[in-house]
Amino acid sequence: MSDYLIRALAYNNQVRAFAIDGTDLVNKAVNIHSLNPLAASALGRGLMGTAMLNYMQKDKNVVTTLQIVGQGPMKGLVCIADKTGTLKGYIKNNDYESYGEDGLFGVGACLGKGVLNIIHDLGLKTPYTGMIPLQSGEIGDDLAYYFTTSEQTPSLVALGVKLLPNQTVSLAAGIIVQLLPGADEKIITNIEQKIYNMKSATALLKKTNSPEGMIRELMNNNEVVITERVAMGYKCNCSEEKMLQGVLSIGKETVMEIIGEQEIVETRCHFCQQNYHFSREKLKKSLKE
């Protein structure tokens, strides 16, 4: 198992924690999308945060989407996770040159003001949706604010991606620590200080070599119990049929206008960059069906 996520309890069940080593999956995402450094950091943080959000949900069929809509030059991102450990996502604008001076100030500046949406889809008519205004755009801070305001759960969130000069991801790590009802709030203050001293989530992973090590280090080995360990990976589940339905969803009249001008309609999956081609005859037949 290369990349994986763990769930744990500590401090005599006063704290629950999640930790993920996402180095390989973030590296795969960076390669698929040819991401610039800031986009790589943003998408990596988003993917790992979404994975941990998904595994907080009890339902085995839940699909979790983290969506950021920003007014900055990066414009936002979308990340999706399910309980099979499958992750996928994309950045809305990967054009590094268009970031201008905002690029000098990091991910938050490039996302700018905006909103963070968390969507948990259990396959029912209406998915659960939570929304907050972006606090810093650094994603970890925004998720911590989301937990505090939307779920009334004091939380500590640390997400990090470290890139080598050749744009290879050397480390990608994420941690979420939450106090359970009745817990001593001094615990999370102590943990926060340890993360601050460690400088970053990636530095913690480098020191401890594993998600288990990250949790034990932060908790001072205080009654740490690992309750779940799940393999994680970047994988897109697009297909020709799904992409065809996407084309048809724009409406019969619009499709007819397009195929009146084009013999072949090309569409690309946002998540894996694969191209799909549909002939005029194929689309006409599908519209009749």
CATH numbers and ranges of domains, the chain: 4-234 (3.55.30.10), 240-288 (3.90.1280.10)
User: What's the confidence (pLDDT) of residue 124?
Assistant: 82
User: What's the confidence (pLDDT) of residue 80?
Assistant: 98
Cα-flanking dihedrals φ and ψ of residue 13, to 5°?
65, 25
Per the listing, tokens 């905006």 go with 114
Q: With beta carbons less than 8 A apart as the criterion, state whether 59 and 87 touch.
A: no
Q: How many Cβ atoms sit within 10 Å of the Cβ of residue 222?
A: 14
Longest CA–CA span in the chain (Å) reads 68
User: What's the confidence (pLDDT) of residue 252?
Assistant: 85
User: What's the confidence (pLDDT) of residue 161?
Assistant: 97
User: What's the confidence (pLDDT) of residue 284?
Assistant: 85
How far is it, in rounded angstroms, from Cα 252 to Cα 267? Answer: 17
How far is it, in rounded angstroms, from Cα 158 to Cα 215? Answer: 12
Mean pLDDT, the chain cut into blocks of 10 residues (289 residues total) = 90 93 97 96 98 93 97 98 96 96 94 97 88 96 93 90 92 93 81 79 92 92 92 94 90 86 90 92 84
User: What's the confidence (pLDDT) of residue 187?
Assistant: 82
What type of residue is 107? V
Q: With beta carbons less than 8 A apart as the criterion, state whether 61 and 158 touch.
A: no
